[in-house]
Amino acid sequence: MQTYELEHEDTFEMFNHEESNPLVGKGYGINLSDVNTMVKVVNKCIQKYRPSFSSSLVEPVHIVSSESAAGSLRVGLERPKVVIGFPDSFSIGPLWKLDVKEGQTFRNQWVYEHINYELDDFEYENKFANTLRKLEDIPQQVPIYIWYGNNADEQTGLRYLLFLLRDKTNDIFLMNSTELYKRYIEREDRDQKIFHTAHIEQKELKLLFDKGQTALPISKQKRMQLQEEWNSLAQTKEVLRLWLKGEIKGINEDHFDPLIIKTIEMLHRKQEKKEFIKAGMVIGEILSESTELMNAFFLEYRIRHLLYSGILELKGIPKSMRHYSVRL
C-alpha cells in the first residue's frame, strides 16, 4: 500500500496516483471507526457508479433472511439467477425503526453489546448496509422470489423485505419453504422436522422451486397487509420473538432461561459429580430437543446473563460458546 498527500481536499477529484509520487518514510495511523466511515463512503460510490445488477438483467432474484439458506439456494437452483441473503436473524434483537438509520444504529448497538456473532468490529453493520444496497439495485423488470418458513426469523424478515421493496413494481412471489416441504417432500418416518429454509437440502430446494413457481405473484392487497404488519413490528422494542399460532409474538427475553437451567440440571445428573459443561454442549442439547426454532447465539447470551446473575459458575473466557464452561 502506498500513501499520497494532497495539499488541499479540493484537488481530490482530479487526483491520479499514476501521475503522483508516493510519500517515502511516512505513514498515517487511522482508528477503526474512521476506517469504517471511509468504507461506507466507498461503498456508496460503488453503488452509484457501478450498480450491482445490469439494467438488462432478466433472471429472477431470490431473497432469503439467512446467509446459510442463501448459500443453499445458490447451489441448488439452476442458473441464471441472483440470490441475496440477509445477514441477520430477525427473531432476536430490536426492530424499532429498523427501516431508517436511527433504528439500524439502535439494533447494531444492541447486537454489539449482547450477541457473540464472532465478527470483526463493524462487520455486521457493513454487511447489513450492503444488503440494503443490493435490494435497492434490483431492476424493475425482474421477478422477485422471497423464501421464508413458518418461524419468527423468516416471517419477520418477510414483512421487513416487503416494506423495503414497497416502491418496486416487480412481480413478487412468496415461497413458503416449510409449507412446500410439508406438501411435497416430508415423510412421516423422518425424524428431523423442518423449521427454517436453511434446514432444507440443496437438491430439495430445486424441487420446491419447480413446484412452487407456478403460483401467482402476491396481490397488492396482501403486500399492503404485510407491510402494515411490519409498521406495527417496527414500533416495538422486544428483543425476542416466536411464531405462535400463525403470528409473530414478542416475548420476554428471559423466556428460555428456565429451559437453560433445566438442561444443565439434566446434564449434571448424567455426571458422577457436578462438573463444568461446555456452553456449546448445553446449547446443542437444547437445540436437538427443541420443537421450535431457537437462535443459538441468543441462547448463549442468556447463558452469560445467568452467569452474571450468579445462577451459573464460569470456567474460561465467555468470548464465544466454544471458549467457556458452566455449572449450576
Q: Which domains does the chain have, with CATH numbers?
A: 61-250 (no CATH), 257-327 (1.10.10)
What gap in Å lies between CA 129 and CA 42, rounded to an integer? 12
pLDDT at 25: 72
What would the grid cell of residue 9 be? 481536499
Decide: residue 6, CB within 10 A, 0-12 exposed, 13-18 middle, 19+ buried: exposed
Model confidence over 241-297: pLDDT tens digits?
Answer: 999 999 999 999 999 999 999 999 999 999 999 999 999 999 999 999 888 889 999
Chain centroid offset of residue 16 CA? 39
Q: Which residues of the chain have pLDDT under 50?
A: none
Of the candidates 199, 326, 320, the residue with the CA atom closest to the CA atom of residue 263? 326
Of the candidates 167, 195, 160, 161, the residue with the CA atom closest to the CA atom of residue 181? 195
CB 322 within 8 A of CB 278: yes
What would the grid cell of residue 258 be? 428456565
What gap in Å lies between CA 150 and CA 283, rounded to an integer? 22
pLDDT at 59: 86
What gap in Å lies between CA 306 and CA 302, rounded to an integer? 6
